[in-house]
Amino acid sequence: MILKKYTDISEVDFVAGTTILIDKPLEWTSFDVVNKVRYALKRLLNVKKIKVGHAGTLDPLATGLLILCTGKATKTIDSIQSLFKAYEGSFCLGASTPSFDAETEPNYTYPIDHITTKLIQEKTNNFVGTIDQKPPIFSAIKKNGKALYKYARKGEKVEVPTRKIQIHKFDITKTEIPNLEFRVECSKGTYIRSLAHDFGHALGSGAYLSSLIRTSIGEHDLKDAWNLENFISVIDDMSLSK
């Protein structure tokens, strides 16, 4: 069962398993959302344990569709993660940051006077299809059993291998230099932060991701997602009425 916003969830069997569409709030980690929902469900069901997992991480500074699975539905997480995803957001040109987004302060600045709408369109086309992408050093990808961001926070240098990802669509929807708004559809494993970083260099400048919203995962759309606090409120009301 897919739990969309305003769905009547009074008869849902969370242990047998269901899939919940959540609109992740800004500055929350994906695990924060999982823990919040898990805690609420444990109160509702009066149990010590219940399986809850998410099907694809969103960074703290990103918002949008986060899919949670409970109970036996956690077995479907891998298949959901493999679906194409769509995002909207913005890049800031003329600077780069160590994290490739606004989590860290700019460490380099670059010229932007030469950037034209024509150049932007030409370079956008180069990022459609199967491409090699290097994930950010500030990421949870593990090397030698240790998350890359742990190396980064200690200032340790580590080689990050590239990997092949697929970008189905990449459109610049608004240009107000130094800010660009975009829409992208991409495969599992794509880092939009890396796309911002690489796109800036392709323009002969620099760029970092300044905002990001995940709008869909496969056929699941953000417009159908629960506001997190509303979902928790419904669960808490059910707990009190038992």
Sequence length of the chain is 242
How would CATH label the architecture of 2-82+220-241? 2-Layer Sandwich (3.30)
3-state secondary structure of 90: strand
- The pTM assigned to this predicted structure is 0.93
Q: Which CATH class is domain 85-217?
A: alpha beta
As annotated, the residues of the chain forming the CATH 3.30.70 domain(s) are 2-82+220-241
Alpha-helical regions (H) of 53-202 = 77-81, 117-125, 148-153, 192-202
Domain(s) of CATH 3.30.2350.10: residues in the chain: 85-217
pLDDT band at 170 (very low <50, low <70, confident <90, very high): very high
Rounded Cα distance, 156 and 178, in Å: 31
Answer positive or negative: Cα dihedral of 193, 198, 200, 201.
positive
Q: Find the mean pLDDT for residues 46-52.
A: 95
Under the banding of pLDDT at 50, 70 and 90, the label for residue 6 is: confident
Q: How confident is the model at residue 122 (pLDDT cuts 50, 70, 90)?
A: very high
Q: Beta strand 220-221 with 226-227: parallel, antiparallel or unpaired?
A: unpaired
pLDDT score recorded for residue 152: 67
19 within 8 A of 223, measured Cβ to Cβ: no
- Give the separation between CA 209 and CA 198, rounded to whole angstroms: 11
Residues forming the active site: 59
